[in-house]
Chain A
Amino acid sequence: MGDVEQVEQQHDVEGDGFSRRTFIKGVIATGASVSASSYVFKDGSVVRAQAPGSVERLVTVTVNGQQRRVDVLPEETLATTLRYKLGLTGTKIGCDRSECGACTVLVDGVPHYSCSMLTHQVRGRSVQTIEGLEAADGTLHPVQQAVIDEQGFQCAFCMPGFVMNMVALVEENPSATRAEAAQHLSGNLCRCADYNKILNVAERAVELSRRS
């Protein structure tokens, strides 16, 4: 079994739910060395040189409806690929460790922390980022419109992650209550602590989605 298949199989076995174990196993399986435990590497994904012959580099990912062929390193995270290879800087990196949710994107409609998912794991799958929500004619997605209507968020660094998670919310639960929205969005941190207004946005998004 090839390394990539191995990663994919692990992914399938564990379903769509992210686990840090999957992520770490993925890194190991792709042949990359896990870096030394020096304090320099306690945090942050870094892009390193290709270990020759370890894994196929060119992968195809559907991003915001377009097939993108991209040269990816074995342990490269989806957040890094999106931001540094595909120019999609709307996805933010707030912690690089599945703590803050700023990097949340949808993979086949399911919210994932893209800082903690390997790009190889989304081979052939469909990724949606905040840049992919607006219609070609400029019409905003109901969740985006809800943000405008409610003057949602403050510094907005957390906004792309919250918005993507909220897109999943209105799809999954078209009649979500304020309390249900809070539970659904609890994996996203807002340091401006604009949570009251974010929940107003969620309520408005549910309302707008139902109408559309």
Chain B
Amino acid sequence: MADYKLIGKGYSTPDLVAKVTGRAKYAEDFRAEGMLFTKLLLSPMPHGRVRSLDTSAAMAMPGVMAILTADDLPEVEAPGERMLTNEPLYEGEPILAIAATTEAQAADAIEKVKIDLEPLPFAVDPLESLRPGGSNARLEGNTMSGRDLIDITWTNVDWDQVDNGTLPTDGEVTDEWEVGDVEAALQAADLVLDETTYHQSTGHQPLESRTAMAYWQNGKCYLHVSTQSLARTHAAAARLVNVDPENAVVIGEYCGGGFGSKIFGSIQMGIPGLLSQKAGKPVMMRINRLEENFIGRARPGMASRIRIGYRKDGRVTAIDMFTVQDGGPYGSSGDFMSAADQASLMYTPANIRCRGVNIYTNTPPRSAQRAPGGVQVVAMCAPMMQKAAKQLGIDQLELMKINAPSGQQTFGRPRQGVQGNVSSAFVREAVDRGIEKFDWEAMKAKSGQRNGSKVTGIGVALSSYAAGVSGMDGLLTIRPDGKVYIQQGVGNLGTGSVFDTARAAMEALQTDWEHAEVVWGDTSKHMPWSSIQAGSMTTHAHTRANWAAGLDAKRKLQEIAARDLGGSPESYTVANGRVFSGARSMTFARAAQRAIALGGKFDGHELPEDINEMTTAAGGGLAGIGLMGIAKDNFDTGGRNMSYAIGFAEVEVDTEVGSVILKDYKVASDAGTIVNPRTFAAQLHGGGIQGFGVALGQKWIYDRRWGLNLSGRFYSNRPTTMLDVPHEKKMDWVAADKADPFNPLGARGIGEPSQGAGCGAVQCAIADALGDGYFNRTPIMLDMILTNVEGLPEGVARLAAHS
């Protein structure tokens, strides 16, 4: 790795003291004079239509100040979602909102609303919607084809086969792509594995719900929200409260978790804004845990038939994926398509086909969740790779390396007939680092060891996912106090990247972090055009953007020094808060004063032409207060930025009671240069642990007769707890630590692939402990392990959703 001053070094992020003393303010921590509270009327049924609504008694209740219904909102074309609806498409969907002086008054008023809901047909299981005679989630159809809602029924399919747990592949689908000739390659393969798998839907469940508070001042709406991305939430928030972006201020300094469910904030964040406008007072909308589990988004589950063809030497020659996806009620999720992209990248088959259909269900809305499609595909394919390794007599990691991407690997769905490529891949190097550091031979030796009724299993899984975008803007000012103020329009989700990427600017200025002030969390504070804080994009995108702004500031410092002190700009060095050449030297504080005096480009009165208009506005707002570094990221790009994590899990399966104890978990990775090892490791391990939850516990259970969720609480939908993780010793990790050639600092993101690695490695470890068993359904529950051990039929229909 290059010799950096700040990059690659651990430090404490500047928000940590505020967090640990309770001073950090999340959306529900703000108060405003005369603040009202709102409560929502939620649909008690999975699908219905408001036949009549009488709110007169509710409005006459004490303290009630305003009401908002779907009739107050603009229409949205199906399958789009509105913040309130007259045709709820899932249990818990908000129908109206009432604001009152106290929350209890609002709740009491909701009780007085007379509402007549006409129950409509519903579907909670996508396969049931495809079955002849099955009902659909939406009146207009059960899926999208292009821009049209259509109804697909599988009349030609052998439904007995479905009921017996095998997904037929002759049903109609809406999406399809192929590279090479999959059928021919499968025919020619030495080994073909053919499995039907089921991956559950999982709620995001951030610990902070999507609570929001809003007030208006002088025609501007101020919104305190929980959002992953700040700058990119601005326009969305403005649209929801019907104002231009310059009349909306979004404040979101801290976000209590999102995992993809709050990329642009949340759709319901507009409710307090509109109610506040009506009532003329601030409005707080507290979303409680049950409400969050309804409106808080989820990862689409999927049932897939997967066929993988192998040559004797372990090379994957063909992959065929056929998927029915559980799409929730709105939008059109593409998880199954990106799942195939990731299969194409991880296993690099010359022949691959993806076919699938996204079926609407009356279950909570789906959105991106940490590695959308990526986690599902690892969960479904990693155990098959393990099985193939055993059948072919090849070491699992050797099989991984044989098929791993390298260099600028091409992969995925072709666009205009051509596959894209990655910017770089050092997966084999990462695997080798893991083999060495984690002592793979010693790990393998533990496989199958028995201790009473407990059997040890070892599992590994490769997981890949997107890790960066480019073309964002960087903005900073060096002010007369000598400090460097770095404007960060991404969000503060706790990944650390809002601060970590600001260090790229200080690296360019070769100046200590103590001289930096990061400005974030409030759109009125002049934010540059930024990436969404999602999809592991930030680290790559904003090391580049801030490096660009830092270099721009450096050039201006050199020019000012040369102008004032003589010599050429190039003869000056910038470091440690000074610009100097021999004995000629100027502090940042002095240079800032000179920049203000000189004006023009130096203090932001003249701005580059290629920056985004959001950055132009931000630069204009900061003009004249110091030396401005402002630039678009125009650095070279070399393909899609993808990162990789390889999970190594050791479990102990108790064959008597069916329990799984995770003894150890370690991760090897390839994500370019590591910007901050502490936040990097947190992503590897935290993501991995979320993956354990997917493998072992997290799911919904629906009452199929009434379409109601029976698992609306943490204890019933089972996210991972402290007791689910190894706690005898610290989890280890290692990185290939090879700079990405298409980032000036070599960095990429790592948050996405880590979850699939954890999930897949644990599944493989369980299968390893139990011999040849392959668990085709996640989460792997006690009963599945016990029926496997006893050789009994499975207790749950393999393809039944949410049961």
Q: Which residues of A contact B (CB under 8 A)?
A: 35-36, 38-44, 46-49, 83, 87-97, 99-100, 102, 129-131, 133-134, 140, 144, 147-148, 150-160, 163, 178-179, 181-183, 185-186, 188-200
Instruction: Provide the residues of chain B in CB contact with A181, threshold 8 Å.
Output: 727
Could you tell me if B255 and A43 are in contact, using CB atoms closer than 8 angstroms? no
With known contacts A157-B256, A159-B20, A183–B685 Cβ distance under 8 A: no
Could you tell me if B257 and A188 are in contact, using CB atoms closer than 8 angstroms? no
Q: List 7 A-B contacts (CB under 8 A).
A: A49-B104, A99-B289, A140-B21, A147-B20, A155-B493, A193-B686, A193-B690
Min CB distance B669 to A, Å, is 15
Could you tell me if A178 and B207 are in contact, using CB atoms closer than 8 angstroms? no
With known contacts A96-B289, A151-B16, A186-B722, A156–B689 Cβ distance under 8 A: no
Give Cα A91–Cα B111 distance, bound, in whole angstroms. Answer: 30
Instruction: Provide the residues of chain B in CB contact with A150, threshold 8 Å.
Output: 678
Give Cα A51–Cα B721 distance, bound, in whole angstroms. Answer: 40
Min CB distance A157 to B, Å, is 3
The CB with the most chain B CB atoms within 10 A, among A87, A92, A195, is that of A195
Provide the B686-707 mask, 1 if CB < 8 A to any CB of A, else 0.
Answer: 1111101100000000000000
With CB as the reference atom, state the residue of chain A lying closest to B724: A195
Could you tell me if B208 and A92 are in contact, using CB atoms closer than 8 angstroms? yes
User: Which residues between 706 and 764 of chain B lie within 8 Å of chain A, taking CB atoms?
Assistant: 712-715, 719-723, 725, 727-731
With known contacts A97-B289, A155-B257, A156-B254, A195–B722 Cβ distance under 8 A: yes
Instruction: Provide the residues of chain B in CB contact with A200, threshold 8 Å.
Output: 730
Instruction: Provide the residues of chain A in CB contact with B24, threshold 8 Å.
Output: 156
Min CB distance B163 to A, Å, is 34
Neighbour of B678 across the interface among A40, A102, A151, CB < 8 A = A151
With known contacts A92-B208, A195-B722, A131–B21 Cβ distance under 8 A: yes
With CB as the reference atom, state the residue of chain B lying closest to A48: B104
Could you tell me if B207 and A158 are in contact, using CB atoms closer than 8 angstroms? yes
Give Cα A91–Cα B21 distance, bound, in whole angstroms. Answer: 10
Instruction: Provide the residues of chain A in CB contact with B103, threshold 8 Å.
Output: 46-47
In this assembly, does B110 line the interface, its C-beta being within 8 Å of a C-beta of chain A? yes
Q: Which residues of B contact A (CB under 8 A)?
A: 10, 12-13, 16-17, 19-26, 28-29, 31, 39, 41-42, 44, 62, 102-105, 107-108, 110-111, 205-208, 254-259, 286, 288-291, 493-496, 678-679, 681-682, 685-690, 692-693, 712-715, 719-723, 725, 727-731
The CB with the most chain A CB atoms within 10 A, among B12, B110, B288, B693, is that of B288
With CB as the reference atom, state the residue of chain B lying closest to A145: B20
Min CB distance B350 to A, Å, is 37
Could you tell me if A157 and B26 are in contact, using CB atoms closer than 8 angstroms? yes
The CB with the most chain A CB atoms within 10 A, among B290, B678, B690, is that of B290
With known contacts A155-B257, A191-B257, A41–B107 Cβ distance under 8 A: yes
Give Cα A156–Cα B19 distance, bound, in whole angstroms. Answer: 7
Instruction: Provide the residues of chain B in CB contact with A152, threshold 8 Å.
Output: 20
Neighbour of B686 across the interface among A186, A188, A194, CB < 8 A = A194
Could you tell me if B254 and A155 are in contact, using CB atoms closer than 8 angstroms? yes
With known contacts A151-B679, A157-B26, A182–B41 Cβ distance under 8 A: no
With known contacts A91-B22, A155-B208, A189-B721, A196–B730 Cβ distance under 8 A: yes
Give Cα A93–Cα B715 distance, bound, in whole angstroms. Answer: 16
Could you tell me if A154 and B714 are in contact, using CB atoms closer than 8 angstroms? no
The CB with the most chain A CB atoms within 10 A, among B22, B258, B686, B728, is that of B22
Min CB distance A115 to B, Å, is 10
With known contacts A40-B42, A41-B107, A42-B290, A154–B686 Cβ distance under 8 A: yes
What is the predominant secondary structure among interface residues of chain A facing chain B?
loop
Instruction: Provide the residues of chain A in CB contact with B678, threshold 8 Å.
Output: 150-151
Could you tell me if B725 and A93 are in contact, using CB atoms closer than 8 angstroms? no
Instruction: Provide the residues of chain B in CB contact with A148, threshold 8 Å.
Output: 12, 16-17, 20
The CB with the most chain A CB atoms within 10 A, among B19, B206, B723, is that of B19
Q: 5 closest Cβ contacts across the A-B interface?
A: A90-B22, A157-B256, A48-B104, A154-B494, A155-B494
With known contacts A47-B104, A195-B722, A96–B288 Cβ distance under 8 A: yes
Could you tell me if B727 and A157 are in contact, using CB atoms closer than 8 angstroms? no
Could you tell me if B39 and A194 are in contact, using CB atoms closer than 8 angstroms? no
Neighbour of B727 across the interface among A96, A129, A178, CB < 8 A = A178
Could you tell me if A97 and B730 are in contact, using CB atoms closer than 8 angstroms? no
Neighbour of A99 across the interface among B23, B689, B714, B730, CB < 8 A = B714
Instruction: Provide the residues of chain A in CB contact with B17, threshold 8 Å.
Output: 140, 148
Could you tell me if B494 and A39 are in contact, using CB atoms closer than 8 angstroms? no
Min CB distance A36 to B, Å, is 7
With CB as the reference atom, state the residue of chain B lying closest to A90: B22
Min CB distance A146 to B, Å, is 9
Could you tell me if B19 and A46 are in contact, using CB atoms closer than 8 angstroms? no
Neighbour of B102 across the interface among A49, A89, A163, A191, CB < 8 A = A49
Instruction: Provide the residues of chain A in CB contact with B110, threshold 8 Å.
Output: 40
Give Cα A183–Cα B205 distance, bound, in whole angstroms. Answer: 23
Instruction: Provide the residues of chain B in CB contact with A186, threshold 8 Å.
Output: 721-723
Could you tell me if B108 and A48 are in contact, using CB atoms closer than 8 angstroms? yes
With known contacts A96-B289, A100-B714, A179-B727, A159–B19 Cβ distance under 8 A: yes
Instruction: Provide the residues of chain A in CB contact with B288, threshold 8 Å.
Output: 43-44, 95-96
Instruction: Provide the residues of chain B in CB contact with A195, threshold 8 Å.
Output: 686, 689, 720, 722, 725, 727
Min CB distance B650 to A, Å, is 15
Min CB distance B211 to A, Å, is 9
Min CB distance A51 to B, Å, is 12
Give Cα A96–Cα B460 distance, bound, in whole angstroms. Answer: 38
Min CB distance B247 to A, Å, is 28
Min CB distance B67 to A, Å, is 15
Could you tell me if A95 and B722 are in contact, using CB atoms closer than 8 angstroms? no
Could you tell me if A156 and B494 are in contact, using CB atoms closer than 8 angstroms? yes
With CB as the reference atom, state the residue of chain B lying closest to A87: B31
Could you tell me if B731 and A191 are in contact, using CB atoms closer than 8 angstroms? no
Could you tell me if B727 and A192 are in contact, using CB atoms closer than 8 angstroms? no
With CB as the reference atom, state the residue of chain B lying closest to A150: B678
Instruction: Provide the residues of chain B in CB contact with A156, threshold 8 Å.
Output: 19-20, 24, 254, 256, 494
Neighbour of A193 across the interface among B107, B256, B679, B720, CB < 8 A = B720
With CB as the reference atom, state the residue of chain B lying closest to A132: B22
Instruction: Provide the residues of chain A in CB contact with B255, threshold 8 Å.
Output: 155
Min CB distance A94 to B, Å, is 5
Could you tell me if B257 and A157 are in contact, using CB atoms closer than 8 angstroms? yes
With CB as the reference atom, state the residue of chain A lying closest to B10: A151
With CB as the reference atom, state the residue of chain A lying closest to B19: A156
Could you tell me if B20 and A39 are in contact, using CB atoms closer than 8 angstroms? no
The CB with the most chain A CB atoms within 10 A, among B286, B289, B693, B720, is that of B289
Q: Give me 20 other A-B pairs in contact (C-beta within 8 A), A89-B22, A154-B257 excluded.
A: A43-B289, A44-B290, A46-B39, A46-B107, A48-B105, A83-B28, A97-B713, A100-B207, A130-B20, A147-B19, A151-B16, A156-B20, A186-B722, A190-B207, A191-B205, A191-B257, A191-B259, A193-B693, A193-B720, A195-B689
Could you tell me if A191 and B206 are in contact, using CB atoms closer than 8 angstroms? yes
Min CB distance A211 to B, Å, is 19
Give Cα A96–Cα B291 distance, bound, in whole angstroms. Answer: 12
With CB as the reference atom, state the residue of chain A lying closest to B42: A39
Could you tell me if A179 and B493 are in contact, using CB atoms closer than 8 angstroms? no
The CB with the most chain B CB atoms within 10 A, among A46, A152, A158, A190, is that of A46
Neighbour of B714 across the interface among A38, A87, A95, A147, CB < 8 A = A95
Instruction: Provide the residues of chain A in CB contact with B12, threshold 8 Å.
Output: 148, 151
Give Cα A195–Cα B687 distance, bound, in whole angstroms. Answer: 11
Instruction: Provide the residues of chain B in CB contact with A159, threshold 8 Å.
Output: 19-20
Give Cα A159–Cα B208 distance, bound, in whole angstroms. Answer: 12
Give Cα A188–Cα B17 distance, bound, in whole angstroms. Answer: 21
Could you tell me if B494 and A147 are in contact, using CB atoms closer than 8 angstroms? no
Give Cα A30–Cα B548 distance, bound, in whole angstroms. Answer: 63
Min CB distance A134 to B, Å, is 5
Could you tell me if B719 and A191 are in contact, using CB atoms closer than 8 angstroms? yes
Could you tell me if A192 and B715 are in contact, using CB atoms closer than 8 angstroms? no
Could you tell me if B690 and A94 are in contact, using CB atoms closer than 8 angstroms? no
Give Cα A154–Cα B686 distance, bound, in whole angstroms. Answer: 9
Give Cα A196–Cα B678 distance, bound, in whole angstroms. Answer: 12
Min CB distance B561 to A, Å, is 37
Could you tell me if A154 and B682 are in contact, using CB atoms closer than 8 angstroms? yes
